[in-house]
Amino acid sequence: MTTRPSVVVVGGGIAGLAAAWELTGAQEGPSESTPRIELIEESEHLGGALTTLEFCDRVIDLGPDGFLARRPEALALAKELGLEDQLEAICAAGASIWLKGALEELPAGLVLGVPTDAKSLKAMKGLSWSSRWSAWRDQHAPRKLKVTDDVSIGLILRTKLGGELTYQLIEPMVGGIQAGRVDELSAAAVFPALYDAAQRGGSLMKALRGAGHTGPVAERVLGPLFMTLRGGVGSLADELTRQLSERGVVVRTGTAVSALRPTPSGTYPWEVDTSDTTTGASAVILATPAPVAGRLTSALDEVLTQLQSITSAGAAVITFVFDAADTTLPPTGTGVLVPLATEWHDDVMMITAITFLDRKWAHLRRDGQILLRAHVGRIDDRRCEVLSDDALAQRVRDELTTILGRVGAPIDVCVQRWPQGLPQYYVGHLDLVARARHALSPFSIRLAGSAYDGVGVPASVGSGRRAAREVLTLLANSDQS
């Protein structure tokens, strides 16, 4: 009698859940060849940062509130799960930035904050003449920069566009996505369009034109840029969990994996240990933070210890409901960006961005109310960690008053902390990940998650499903041999 294959997925974030979905046959469902699947998650919650809360007569996300719709992975998964009628496109566009004590509307044509036409910066009073000249120079007489190996985003931007545009205009957006600093983040891993543009030489801005696919023509051809689910992005993880349970996946929460051991003489080639169990596995998918994966696999190859160098930035989101009658917002746009080191009294601002959630998503609107979310925390700014929830909410509200001009007493407030929220892709990240995967290639162990292939929801979904497909191929090949 042939032993049924067994796959253990370690980590129950969206990547691990997506891997289990793929392992169980995805949209087609399980078949006779579907392996036994066990998913083990250290926390009590499945879905990682995809989690929701009932808040002031609405369901809000405490993690990502939407996802990039022009990447197919999250959208396709939602449709496979039967959530197509819950999909909702973003219903506003544009944003502002807080520069030199005033709100300024961000110009059109930016690609992750990088201007693509010097003329678009003319109306920005918070930018100096010299910074606008730097943009003109890149367009007409660009500085030379030879890029062969991976370099930081900051090196490219400072060389081509100067320091002011880099730190005051561009870093608030591209650095904010990763909660990191552009002088440390890998151009090849975080901003490949910028890396490719720099390698081509010539004007950086000209090379980036079209990379963002912005404007009404792109909207008609490619569809909306961002989407969400009316039950929250967290409902994607909830529905996955429900359907995986129906498919017979063994789901264990509140359980940490303590060891991953080869068992050459056993029924299965691997054993996955927790404090009180051992599970035999034909294959293992590690959808954990990279340091955990590095610790579990370090005995297999010294290269894998380098996974423990992939650090994560902590962040927090503070969601407020205000009375619309005593709170002022910019006339248009979905939010405000705040450059790092923006002076505020005898300190610098903690807020890095503000999102007007009920402008972005129609289902969150309520008459007479404003639903707003402030983002704090970066890799080198951990001030929010030492403040209580009440103190943090008060500090953020005081900063909001400076930025928005008029902010009333909140009707309600919610503080959500993500101590290890965003992995940092430093220079050389792609090589590090490639070496780790190459070291694991002789073994039936695969890596998945936001530490490797992108921090967004679509990237994490794609990473999990790709690891699962590789495992299914390994199992099929082992059956034939």
Segment 409-422, tens digit of pLDDT: 999 999 999 998 89
Q: What pLDDT sits at residue 421?
A: 82
Residue 359 and residue 301 in one domain: no
CATH number of the CATH domain containing 133 = 1.10.3110.10
Burial 438-470 (b: 16+ CB within 10 A, else e): ebbeebbbbbbbbbbbbbbbbbbbbbbbbbbeb
Same-domain status, 259 and 360: no
Question: For 363-417, what is each residue's pLDDT tens digit?
Answer: 999 999 999 999 999 999 999 999 999 999 999 999 999 999 999 999 999 999 9
- Identify the domain boundary among 167, 187, 214: 214
Are residue 342 and residue 415 in the same domain, yes or no? yes
Comparing CA positions, the residue from 63, 409, 431, 437 lying closest to residue 236 is 63
Q: pTM for the complete prediction? A: 0.94
What is the per-residue pLDDT across 73-122, written as a single tens digit (0 to 9) for each?
999 999 999 999 999 999 998 999 999 999 999 999 999 999 999 999 99
In a domain, 65, yes or no: no
Domain check: are 318 and 411 in the same one?
yes
Asked if the model's pLDDT at residue 29 lies above 90, the reply is: yes
Task: Give the per-residue pLDDT at 225.
Answer: 86
| 56 is a domain residue | no
At residue 220, does pLDDT exceed 80? no
Within 10 Å of residue 430's Cβ, how many Cβ atoms?
Answer: 16
- Domain check: are 415 and 440 in the same one? no
The answer on pLDDT for 164 being more than 60 is yes
Contact indicator for 477, 466 with CB cutoff of 8 Å: no
Rounded to whole angstroms, how far apart are CA atoms 456 and 464? 13
pLDDT at 219 > cutoff 50 = no
Q: CA-to-CA distance for 422 and 157, rounded, in angstroms?
A: 22
Phi and psi angles of residue 346, each rounded to the nearest 5 degrees, phi first: -100, 25
- Give how many domains the chain has, as a whole number: 3
Please report whether residue 176 resides in a domain. Answer: yes
